Amino acid sequence: MNMTEAQHFTADGLRGTLQQNVSMRRHTSWRAGGCVERMYQPADLADLQLFLRSLPAHEPVLAVGLGSNLLVRDGGLRGTVLLMHAALKDLRIEADGSIYAQAGVAAAKLARFAANNNLRGAEFFAGIPGTVGGMLTMNAGCYGSETWSFVERVQVMTRSGELLERTARDYDIAYRSVVKRETGNGKREKHDSFHLSPFTFHQDEFFVGAWFRLQAGDGEASRQDIKALLSKRIASQPLNLPNAGSVFRNPTGDYAARLIESCGLKGKQIGGARVSEKHANFIVNMGEATATDIESLIDAVQAQVLAATGIKLQCEVRIVGDAAGGEAK
């Protein structure tokens, strides 16, 4: 980045924190990967608007929450990462009884907040290791429930900093997929984990908040449900090692973990990356795994399951950046 660009990225009035050449190992749950050219943590929603308006139109932007569904290749990431967690963190009960949560609010925090306000339905959020932004983007879910079943409307910000509201009617919503419906130019904009989402480059808009509609209930019962859910999660998932949650989407009528286990792939290891013996749909970092190790193991699992079953597992994790040596993939 030349000096003119550096001045442009520190525009007057910004209140957030700008860093350069930041390792994404510290900002992804896999604890692996390369560096990003720039990272900006906005002070709040208004500061994010100002920052986006200060960026050149061609600047690649990636929004990151807890980095729990993200792999950044070892060659690093060109452009700017927006660090949303602990930045967009507003969480409140509205006058109409809905919950407003900004994109940086952790899913587990939202679950507890709902229970403490005697609202039912959000308990499963405690099992999602991410933030509201990621939940909205991929229609995250677990234990039979999905995010968008409880969304009344969303708040989005355009690449130019315009703040808008949309409802579920503006999207085609499916399993781990949220697709913006037809626009005036006849195109559909994808907001799932692979395409034009808040977590990929060159998107036109991304989620910054949402209003959730939940049923009145017994807060103590909700807290007990959350406790039971977390106990189940601890018992069934390898939470003692760095991981990114479920790596593959469940194919229709089956489970990715069952297919992987049926192929004898539990314990398969490449470098420091290993298919968990505890849950076959998890890849864990045994200590010094590189992003290349992890991606190679993902590819190997896909290839072996395809060869044995004829089913091509679809990756649920977002993989971005350049391969080691600087070549984009």
Is the pLDDT score of 4 beyond 80? no
Measure the CA–CA gap between 278 and 272, rounded to whole angstroms: 17
Looking at residue 9, its pLDDT comes to 54
Measure the CA–CA gap between 201 and 274, rounded to whole angstroms: 29
Is the pLDDT score of 213 beyond 50? yes
Is the pLDDT score of 111 beyond 50? yes
Measure the CA–CA gap between 176 and 85, rounded to whole angstroms: 21
- Residues 236-260 have a mean pLDDT of 96
Is the pLDDT score of 3 beyond 50? no
222, 246, 276, 295: the active-site residue: 246
pLDDT in tens, 120-139: 999 999 999 999 999 999 89
Looking at residue 10, its pLDDT comes to 52
Looking at residue 200, its pLDDT comes to 39
Q: Which residue has the higher pLDDT, 93 or 197?
A: 93
Measure the CA–CA gap between 313 and 33, rounded to whole angstroms: 23
Element spanning 18, H or E: strand 17-23
Least confident range of 6-15, 31-40, 162-171: 6-15
Q: Are 272 and 289 in contact (CB under 8 A)?
A: yes
Element spanning 273, H or E: strand 273-275
CB atoms within 10 A of CB 283: 33
Q: What is the mean pLDDT of the chain?
A: 89
pLDDT in tens, 129-184: 999 999 999 899 888 889 999 999 999 998 889 999 999 999 998 888 888 886 65
- Residues 8-19 have a mean pLDDT of 79
Contacts of 158 (CB under 8 A, 6+ apart): 164, 204, 205
Is the pLDDT score of 41 beyond 80? yes
Looking at residue 66, its pLDDT comes to 93
38, 112, 176, 318: the active-site residue: 176
The closest alpha carbon to 173, from 207, 128, 131, belongs to 207
CATH of domain 3-83: 3.30.43.10
Looking at residue 203, its pLDDT comes to 59
Is the pLDDT score of 271 beyond 60? yes
Among this protein's residues, is 316 annotated catalytic? yes
Q: What are the residue boundaries of the structural domains of the chain, listed by start?
A: 3-83, 91-219, 250-313
pLDDT in tens, 56-110: 888 889 899 999 999 999 999 999 999 998 899 999 999 999 999 999 999 999 9
pLDDT in tens, 275-329: 999 999 999 999 999 999 999 999 999 999 999 999 999 999 999 999 876 555 4
- Residues 239-252 have a mean pLDDT of 95
Looking at residue 205, its pLDDT comes to 83
Measure the CA–CA gap between 324 and 177, rounded to whole angstroms: 30
CATH architecture of 91-219: 2-Layer Sandwich (3.30)
Q: Are 67 and 84 in contact (CB under 8 A)?
A: no
Q: Which two tokens stand for residue 85?
A: 């967690």
CB atoms within 10 A of CB 82: 27
Half-sphere exposure of 50 (CA within 13 A, CB side): 14
**Chosen CATH of 250-313 out of 3.90.78.10, 3.40.50.450, 3.10.129.10, 3.90.245.10:** 3.90.78.10
